[in-house]
Amino acid sequence: MPKKRKREILNFAPEMSNVLKSYVYVYVDPRNDEPFYVGKGKGNRSFAHLSERNRLKKVARIGAILKSGAQPKIDILRYGMTSSEASLVEAAVIDLLGLSNLTNAVRGNLGGTFGRISSHELITMLTAKPAKIKHAAILIIINQLYRSEMTPEELYEATQGIWKIGHNREKAEFAMAVYQGIIREVYRIKKWFPAGTVNYKTRDSRGFKGSGRWEFEGEIAYDIRDEYVGSSVRYLLRKSQNPIRYVNA
């Protein structure tokens, strides 16, 4: 019976930090050469995932590789960067590979820039006219979850929850999904529930329950959506980091 290969202990020597600075790395499954996780960090951050113990998909994939007797391949994509530069490279790589093909939970920090988007959609965004919102609504910013190729169900579930939101939510009749200041869809809110109540089909909702946040159940507001979808609400979002904004509510 062949001997099980001893696990290699990886680390960067302290004196390497000045050269590496902030860097972006990718984990590759040696069994099929597929990249499955992209990250950024300093020092030995790239190796920290090998000893993590949680229920994340990334950790499960690493565990399966180690159990097979192999070890994940860890490639450094770019190094010698500032933290903000590394964030942009990380987000671009995740967009290129596709979040659905990775174990990353989010698309990365875009640093105020746009993520991957079709040229047609970018033109639409940059020429969008300001929205004149006449209804009681909540603008819900979904920049971290949005993708150009999202299905209607994915867009709805990305907008549903989970949100830290006050009692004024009950005054709003509509929820508007907003990406980079542009309204993507309009939903008529039926009811609000504590997070963890709704069953999601396209999102991992583990950890939602007991978070103290909220989610809604609703449907596309076909009677008014054409008034708003594709229009800009950037003028309402200036100088605010809050993903929730009330209008007429």
Residues 84 and 157 in one domain: no
Residues 243 and 132 in one domain: yes
The closest alpha carbon to 29, from 60, 70, 80, 67, belongs to 70
Residues 145 and 183 in one domain: yes
Q: Assess whether pLDDT exceeds 80 at residue 112.
A: no
With b for 16 or more beta-carbon neighbours within 10 A and e for fewer, the 77-106 pattern comes to bebebeeebbbbbbbbbbbebebeebbbee
Element (H, E) at 157: helix 152-160
43-47, 86-90, 111-115, 123-127: the lowest-pLDDT one: 111-115
Question: Does residue 43 fall inside a structural domain?
Answer: yes
Q: What is the mean pLDDT of the chain?
A: 90
Full DSSP string of 94-151: HHHH-GGGS--SS----TTS--S--HHHHHHHHTPPBP---S-EEEEE-TTT--TT--
Residues 161 and 233 in one domain: yes
Question: Does residue 56 fall inside a structural domain?
Answer: yes
First to last CA, the chain: 71
Residue 220 pairs in a beta bridge with: 187
* 3-state class (DSSP) for residue 25: strand
Residues 207 and 133 in one domain: yes
Q: Which of 51, 71, 101 is the last residue of a domain?
A: 101
Q: Which domain holds residue 65?
A: 14-101
Q: Assess whether pLDDT exceeds 80 at residue 63.
A: yes
Is residue 74 within 8 Å of 8, Cβ to Cβ? Answer: no
Quote the pTM value: 0.64
Question: Does residue 1 fall inside a structural domain?
Answer: no
Give the torsion through C-alpha atoms of 227, 176, 184, 113, to 10 deg: 130
Q: Assess whether pLDDT exceeds 70 at residue 208.
A: yes
- In the chain, % of residues over pLDDT 70: 92
Phi-psi map region of 43: left, alpha, beta (phi>0 left; psi -120 to 50 alpha)? left
Q: What is the pLDDT of residues 72-100, one digit of tens each?
A: 999 999 999 999 999 999 989 998 998 88
- pLDDT, residue 146, reads 84
Question: Does residue 187 fall inside a structural domain?
Answer: yes
Confidence of residue 5 (pLDDT cuts 50, 70, 90): low
Residue located via tokens 């978070």: 211
- pLDDT, residue 209, reads 86
The CATH number linked to 29 is 3.40.1440.10
The pair of structure tokens assigned to 110 is 């875009």
Q: Which of 47, 75, 101 is the last residue of a domain?
A: 101
Is residue 38 within 8 Å of 90, Cβ to Cβ? Answer: yes
Residues 131 and 18 in one domain: no
Q: What is the pLDDT of residues 185-197, one digit of tens each?
A: 999 999 999 999 9
* 3-state class (DSSP) for residue 196: coil
Cα–Cα distance, 202 to 33 (Å, whole number): 26
**How many domains does the structure of the chain reveal?**
2
